[in-house]
Amino acid sequence: MKLKYIILSLGCAKNLVDSERFVAILKNYGFKEAETFDEADIVLVNSCAFLHDALLELSDTLSEILWEIDGIPTKLVVTGCVMNRGLQTFQEKFPWVDCWIPLKDFTAFERYLKESVLPPDADLTRKRLLQRTPLEQEQHVYLRIADGCENYCTYCLIPSIRGKLVSVPIEELVKEAKSLSRRGKELVLIAQDSCMYGTDIYGHKALPELIEALHEIKGFEWIRLMYLHPDHFELDWLPLWKKYPKLLPYFEIPIQHVSDRIIHAMNRKKGYAELKALFESIKTEIPQAVFRTTLMVGYPGETRADLDLIDKFLSEVDILHVGVFGYSPEQEGSQWHYPDDWDWDRTRQLELELTQKIQKQKLAKMERLVGTSHRAMVVDYDFELEALCARLWFQAPEIDGLVYFEDDSDSKEIMVEIQIFDVLDDEIWGELIEEQE
């Protein structure tokens, strides 16, 4: 009888990569996925600890699991970012957790399986040699090109949680990407700061060399770059988007704010004028470029004048996708508590106000797309809508919405051409354009 597992991957896509490696280890020893907690021999929670909300989610998740497995011998194992932030608090609150595995310590997890989960008479020979096992069947795959960060933005704990920048050598990334090419048509490159890739191992920003190497891999139709820090993006890279057709002209550049005063307080560099010039330069060189960014509101000392600058910037710079989040006061260390003295209501109100403004602006921009045609990647079928779901090239996985269209043919094509005829926020409706023989 095979042992069974359940894994819960909390947080971002970078965490998902680690979760896929943990699952590969389980599969290597013959484990199969369980459908419910009570039938699992081991439940693994890969945690996020970036924000207070993430730690609250972890607390709720562990409470729910412990309630589900109460009275049965299921092992509960926790790993991930909580190991470097809030660990002592969580160990005191959840003494019933069987094991706490250090962040990305796959060797420790494998050892725990052998010593505490697998039966004494088990064959400890790996059944398979998988490196990553998908948690879901998707048309996109994530390639984490580096981990850690040395930017030390004042609002962010990533350097203390994930450590300093550690880039993966190009040859290793090419090997991993080739193995992933059988899983999907889109390769999504991720890191805390993709622009700084290679500076630690090559002595320079090596993103161009990496893109050149990855572009040669057969199987991928699209390559998407995420997490392009505005302070480190090089305009000299723009010819790459002309040279390599798989490289999507989709620029995710998280600016966080535009007020020079707040930017300086955040320990970031480019202010209003430089950020505007950056976006304009990209758009001039790559006219079809589509932008995504994130903005933070409620930073300590922020004034109405600072918020007005955000409105002004968004009226001057054409950014299609904008994510908004409120500032959250975070503390380093093994102890963690929710700061009751912070004005959470004000922060949430600021977040709501800006989000509503941006939604109206985005709808107007999306309506201008009606009548245009774009390449899309089919990802699913919605039985309730009785329509196929796809992502247009300017829709990143999980965050930018979908396009829906009907197709009465028996075509199994993944890459299709869609003409847009209606939009509603991130929900787009289109019709399939039949390709000429």
pLDDT tens digits, residue range 242-257? 999 999 999 999 999 9
Work out the average pLDDT over 290-317. Answer: 97
Check: CB of residue 196 under 8 Å from CB of residue 229. yes
- Tell me how far apart the alpha carbons of residues 314 and 222 are, in angstroms, rounded to a whole number: 28
| CATH code matching the domain that covers 140-331+342-367, chosen among 3.30.450.90, 3.20.20.70, 3.40.640.10, 3.80.30.20 | 3.80.30.20
Please state the φ and ψ torsions of residue 5, each to the nearest 5 degrees.
Answer: -135, 160
Model pTM above 0.85: yes
Quote the tokens at residue 207: 């993103």
pLDDT attached to residue 150: 93
pLDDT recorded at residue 424: 83
Query: Would you list the domain boundaries of the chain?
Result: 4-117, 140-331+342-367, 373-433
CATH of 4-117, one of 3.40.50.880, 3.30.70.1150, 3.40.50.12160, 3.40.50.300: 3.40.50.12160
Instruction: Give the C-alpha distances (Å, rounded to integers) separating 244 from 5, 248, 295, 398.
Output: 41, 9, 30, 25
Going by CATH, does the domain composed of 373-433 fall within 2.40.50.140?
yes
166-186 confidence digits (pLDDT tens): 999 999 999 999 999 988 999
| Per-residue model confidence (pLDDT) at position 436 | 57
What confidence tier does 135 reach under pLDDT thresholds 50, 70, 90? confident
Which pLDDT belongs to residue 421? 95
Average pLDDT, rounded, for the chain = 92
Picking from 394, 387, 359, 399, the residue whose alpha carbon sits closest to that of residue 373 is 394
